[in-house]
Structure 1
Amino acid sequence: MAEIEYAEHGTRNRGVLGTRLVGGISFAVAAACLLPMVAVVLAALTGGTDTVSHLLATVLPEYTLTTIVLVVLVSIGTFAIGVGAAWLVTMTRFPGVKLLEIALVLPLAFPAYVLAYAYTFVLDHPGIVQSTLRQVMGWGPRDYWFPEIRSTEGAAVMLILVLYPYVYLLARAAFLQQSATAFLAARALGDSPWAAFWRVSLPMARPAIAGGVLLAVMETIADFGTVAYFGVQTFATGIYTSWFSMADRGAAAQLALCLLCFALLMAVTERTQRGKAKYYQVGKRHEGMTAARLKGWRSVMAFILCALPVVFGFLLPVIILVEMGLESEQNLLSRRYIGFIQNSLTLAGIAAVVTVCAAISIGFYQRLRPGRRSNLAAYIARLGYAVPGGVIAVGLIVPFAAFDNALDAWMRQTFQVSTGLLVTGSIWLLVAAYMVRFLAAALSAYEGGQSTVHSNMDAAARSLGQTPLGTLRRIHLPILTPSLLTALLIVFVDVMKELPATLIMRPFNFDTLAVQAYRLASDERLEGAAVPSLVIVAVGLLPVILICRQVGRR
């Protein structure tokens, strides 16, 4: 009897220690996610104002106006394409609809800056489109007008083409979950199909649509590669210019603070407005919407409207990039390119594992100790997705550079030994930036899988003497393997595509495929930039294929 009590006491102690360990890791991760934002605020408040005063008098108004214009254009464009395509493939039937409902997700594999390289190659003044026009029509360089691809509007189009799938996926899911009762009631009261959609179906799907548009907006304000290549002046390019061209970290922090406030304000506003909008299904049973079969010119128009985003957002850029890559002199199997690939895979692999482990600790601690503390840790962990990569980079480099310099000065004074930069410029600090940036995506995937694990399983494991860590290892992780693999894949691909944080924080002489593509494109060597861009797109197709499989299963 004494031995049983001793065993139970030992199991209880191990359970308490395991819970404390998971809680400690969770709060450490939350603190790491909060550190860049706090550091940006402190650096902005303590930095000088000379550079910012100069920027305020010269380009800061342009940064603000251009960022707002981009946000408005991308919001309208992604809303129109995403909602329109989702409604057509969900509520109507026409030839090719089964293929298009899956193909509409494919542009998600493209980073916007890669799309910018492809379309600049064919639409710029020396490109094939304008060259053919001049040759066929006999025009001179100034005899005609052609839309300028390197413009704010051009950047908005690139972003819309790769970001509308966020809205499409969420809107489509919302339309599929709606019951036909309210829609049919509106039709019975005399509303046309368009009026019933606008007054009934669209408001009911508003929370999901608003979430998709918000994701697109967050990616827009975080984008650096597209706007920098097109010469569009936004806060993202201003941070990079202040950091590298002006060598003023205080000004970079102040610009980063402006962008951080803008991102968080939009996130809070959307969440507040969405919280006030509540829609309930009042019927006793769910009656699915009956898809209308389109015929004649209506079916042709529906096919064209749904096919255009796929053609311009995926098929045409792939063809252009393949042609550019074949004409380039870049050898993907050379030692230099193998180094780029190894660096990219190393960073993405380490960051994916670290980020998913952090998501497991936070999600599992919420399950063990539901309450304000665990919910606060999860909320802080999710804030990173609303913070652009350039802001996170500035927020991490400033405090760790100060730490490295202080440690080096102390070691020199005490032991006459220089430690140099131990943390700043290391792979691990860059991995930390990736974790902060993409932890929300991994946490969402983990929590989605964890919701399928019934609480009775935890109770049964405890009754059999399992500690919390034992329950996680023997029950949760085997069940959650598909969700964890999805989270790993999503973070892996996001890291492969991430540009601003990598540009600012990468170790010396440690370039990735994204950095190489950006460098070649900046030197107007677009054919060469196509080779690393194609590799990035090929890797980006992996999670898109997973999403397409889920879409195909409805």
Structure 2
Amino acid sequence: MTYKFQLSKWQLIAWSTGLLLSTPLFFLLVESLQGDSEVFTHLWNTVLWDYISNTVLLVLGVGLLSCLIALPLGWLTAYCRFPGKQQFEWALMLPLAMPTYIIAYVYTDLLDYAGPVQITLREWFGWQSPSDYWFFDIRTLPGAIIMIALVLYPYLYLIFKTALREQSFKLVQASQLMGLSAWKSFFKVSLVLSRGAIVAALALISMETMADFATVSYFAVSTLTTAVYDTWFGYYSLTAAAKISGVMLLLLFLALITERFSRRNQAVFERQSSVNSEALYILKGKSAWLATGFCSLILIISFIIPMVVLLKYAITYFDQAWSSEFFSYAWQSLKVAAVVSVVTIVLSVLVVFYQRIAKQVNPLIPGRLASTGYALPGTVLAIAVLLPLTLLENTINRILTPYNLDIGLLLTGSLLTITFAYIVRFYAVAHGAIESSFSRISPSLDMASQSMGKSQGHTLRLVHLPLLRRGLLTAGLLVFIECMKELPAALL
């Protein structure tokens, strides 16, 4: 539906949002193009290529392991019937709420030399020292790959399962009539038709993997993310940190371009209006229990064990943890997450509504600009946000100096900085959820409202918002969880 009048205020809101939220990226690019940095040159000639190779290996490893976990899970829960399927459908998404560094801490405590697993093995077999046996060292690059994949696989699981259910079951049924087994149908039909969704999910996982700081830092794995942190706080070189951030952005954009290129000719030719209530494959006997066992194993490793250990720690250290400082930190975290959730929802609704009422190409640009922050890892985002805020803060102080006034670190030394950083980073999460909800509202409702002489604001407030309730709740919940989990930006 295209309105002919009163577009100016919606254009102003949408473009202001897009330009404001993309400002940190612009400042980061400008800073990275500044004069030569001796620190960056030194890193480039010594260890930077090791950081790049570790980052690439980490991304590839997490992507591969996520595929090995999520693709079978998505296919089983979408197409098969087996004991516990309904419970596994939602339970397998729970690891997404677990920060990667929490799982890393838990499994390091469990599997280290002084941990309960190795202590038990030494007692059982009479081993006296590490030289008597071999045990997997979790604080390595492979260990980091496993920990991150256990948390991020739900992205691929959810997107792949949704893609399978949006495909026509008739295609898989046709493959059955042609004599293909379940596994051959999985590889030759389901995976091929879902390739675009899989690549999109892997692109998201790649961005999240590159953004991880706490896990790789704890495991002493040097990546570009840790290089940004070390360069800034070790060498005190903001320019060098910005240049390394530019390298990260280059890798991210290459991944995104590859993802777009792989789907350039993709089109959806048939789409189910609803999920088929009948499973295509009814598993029995050994197959059924293998499916249940596989789902149970992944859920136990990725969520139940870390949750049980965390509960044990919470009980053991209850007196130390539940202090006034804990409640202060918790209140600040909840407050920031709540504010960011509300702001991103409001901005997303306004920008997406502008896209809806002006059906040209350019209305999509503000939303794309505003969403660029999601591609920035937390460490990179922190630098990008501090650059314009520091400039603004210094400018205000210079203006106020003749009047003996000074705002100090009001902008860069308060919760305002972290709040703005979270809005820049997680706006895309809310935008995607709300854009999807808007797309399911029939344009005929807009036409009916306009025919009754109602304004655009009236249509948004009384027609669209009531229909967007679930989408708004989903967007708010996703942003809230992401804010509570985010560590690198908060550290910097």
In the TM superposition, residue 288 of structure 1 has moved relative to its aligned partner by 8.1
State which of 436, 459, 468 in structure 2 corresponds to 1:471: 459
1:29 corresponds to which letter in structure 2? T
Name the structure 1 match of 2:141. Answer: 152
Does structure 1 residue 402 correspond to structure 2 residue 391?
A: yes
Of 191, 209, 212, 2:198 maps to: 209
The share of aligned pairs that are identical, in percent, is 35
- For residue 47 of structure 1, report the CA deviation from its aligned partner: 4.6
Could you tell me how far apart the structure 2 residues matched to 1:178 and 1:44 are?
45
Structure 1 residues 183 and 58, CA gap change in structure 2 (3 angstroms)? same
1:370-416 deviation per Cα after TM superposition (whole angstroms, max 9, x unaligned): 2222111122222222221222211111222133224324433x334
Partner of residue 33, structure 1: 21
Structure 2 counterparts to residues 140-219 of structure 1, below 5 A: 140-142=128-130, 143-219=132-208
TM-superposed CA distance for 1:329, in Å, is 5.4
In structure 1, the gaps of 5 or more residues are 1-11, 505-554
Range with bigger deviation, 176-185 or 211-220: 176-185
Q: Which moved more, 1:118-127 or 1:395-404?
A: 395-404
Amino acid at match of 2:150: L
CA offsets per residue over residues 116-175 of structure 1, 9 Å max, x none? 111111111111111111222221222211111111111111111111111111111122
**Residue 59 of structure 1: which of 47, 70, 90 is its match?**
47
Instruction: Mark the CA change 1:421 to 1:287 in structure 2 (over 3 Å): closer, same or farther.
Output: closer
**Partner residue, 1:496:** 484
Q: Secondary structure at the match of 1:371?
A: coil
Q: Distance in 1 between matches of 2:444 and 2:176?
A: 46
Distance 2:35 2:216 in 1: 27
* Stretch deviating more after TM superposition (47-56 or 357-366): 47-56
Greater CA drift, 82-91 or 460-469: 460-469
Q: Offset of 1:97 from its aligned partner?
A: 2.0
1:71-92 superposed Cα distances (whole Å, 9 cap, x missing partner)? 1111111111111111122222
Which position in structure 2 is the counterpart of 1:4? none
Matched letter for residue 329 of structure 2: F
Counterpart AA for 1:358: L
Cα offset for 1:178?
2.2
State the alpha-carbon separation in 2 of the partners of residues 199 and 369 from structure 1: 41
Q: List runs of 5+ in structure 2 lacking aligned partners.
A: none
TM-score (norm 2): 0.93
Q: Answer yes or no: is the 8 Å Cα contact 2:165–2:275 preserved in 1.
A: no
Deviation at 1:279, TM superposition (A): 5.0
State the secondary structure of the residue aligned to 1:149: coil
Query: How many residues are paired up?
Result: 489
Equivalent positions of 1:83-482 (< 5 A) are 83-142=71-130, 143-278=132-267, 280-281=269-270, 290-328=279-317, 330-412=319-401, 414-482=402-470
Structure 2 letter corresponding to 1:134: R
Structure 2 counterpart of 1:351, one-letter code: V
The CA deviation string for residues 428-465 of structure 1, in whole angstroms up to 9 with x for no partner, is 23222111111111112212222233222223323333
For the Cα contact (< 8 Å) 1:332–1:338, is it kept in 2? no
Q: Return closer, same or farther for 1:286/1:26 CA change in 2, 3 Å cut-off.
A: closer
SS in 2 for 1:46: coil
Retained in 2: the 8 A contact 1:180–1:290? no
Deviation at 1:290, TM superposition (A): 4.6
The amino acid that maps onto 2:315 is L
Under a length normalisation based on structure 1, what TM-score does the superposition of the two structures give?
A: 0.83
> Aligned-residue CA RMSD in angstroms?
2.4
